[in-house]
Amino acid sequence: MLIRTNDLRIRLDAATMRVVAADVLKGCMLRADAGETAAFARELEHVLSTAYEEKIPDAKWRAAFPMNTEVHPGADTFSEQTLKFMGEAVVADPDSDNFPMVDVQESLSAGILRSIVTGYRYSFQDVRASQLMGRSLSDLRARAARAIWERQVDKIMFLGDTVTGLPGFYNAGTAVTVTDKGADDTWESTTTTTIGGLAQDIANDVHKMANQIFTDTKGVRGQNLYLMVGTKGFASLNKPRIIANVPSTAAKYLLSQHPWLKGIDFSPRLDTAGASSKERVVLYEKDPAVLESMVSQDFEQFAPQFRNLHTIVLCHGRIGGLRVHESKAVAYMDGTQA
């Protein structure tokens, strides 16, 4: 079995797994022949494989942000280089000596990397029971370890971590105020459902953020934008409405009217990320040149080991949070939900 990670590969072939299984069985004071040891090795291999294959529906960071895996897993810090072209070109005679010289201004910003760890284990009784009943070890703990690891990384990528200083997504970019709608500045209403009312207000808010990005970047950014909202915002966008006398939703209207908007998704992390714990919606360009999730070591599992009366599998990964390279290509808005 070959466990693939970012820069590290741990080979757990059949021979290695048989040795591990034999050690575990010996530690549990169980007698097993070659066939039983091989069977237990296959069970462990299945458990390890399951953790890699598990899909995590509530971890949005992998789909939401481009991933940077260039930093070596052994690094504690990394540097980000920013280049700015300086100078000008002028109209002049080609025989003139008055040629202005350009230059390149270089700046470096440092980032940190931190390990995210968890693990799972099986008791000697689990091993005995699996042999007695002739069944495989349950893979639920391996799946739980992967899911919990992903959730922690998802939380950091979206919200950052104040203890370690890892940056997050929610406070990157330019703040934009909600369009004034009178008494109710939210995206939800019990009385207004037509395109001339609330759905148009939502479109105005999103366009306001897009316009902020377009003007701040002088038109360089703003053609390939994605909208990330909280759960209430996503529900409002997909609420059935009557738009131009046709049943539709505000989400469909936005995507049909604005070709620069490529997708809409949600994350519960944004439900209370705004000021006064209000929902925050973020519009951004999904481009590695704009933002990246820094992952120097993706989720990995180490070889099973016997400790006391348990088989233990340690899980590990190493991240640097979400790095925003072009903050002007990100805009956010609070107060869209009450």
pLDDT of 319: 97
pLDDT of 193: 47
Tens of pLDDT, residue by residue over 287-310, are: 999 999 999 999 999 988 888 888
pLDDT of 103: 83
pLDDT of 79: 83
| Contact in structure between 126 and 304 (CB atoms under 8 Å) | no
The structural domains of the chain, ordered by start, are 2-71+112-165+295-319 (no CATH), 174-290+326-334 (3.30.2320.10)
- The segments of the chain whose pLDDT lies below 70 read 1-46, 51-58, 81-83, 131-137, 180-185, 188-198, 338
Q: Quick check: pTM over 0.75? A: yes
pLDDT of 140: 80
pLDDT of 1: 36
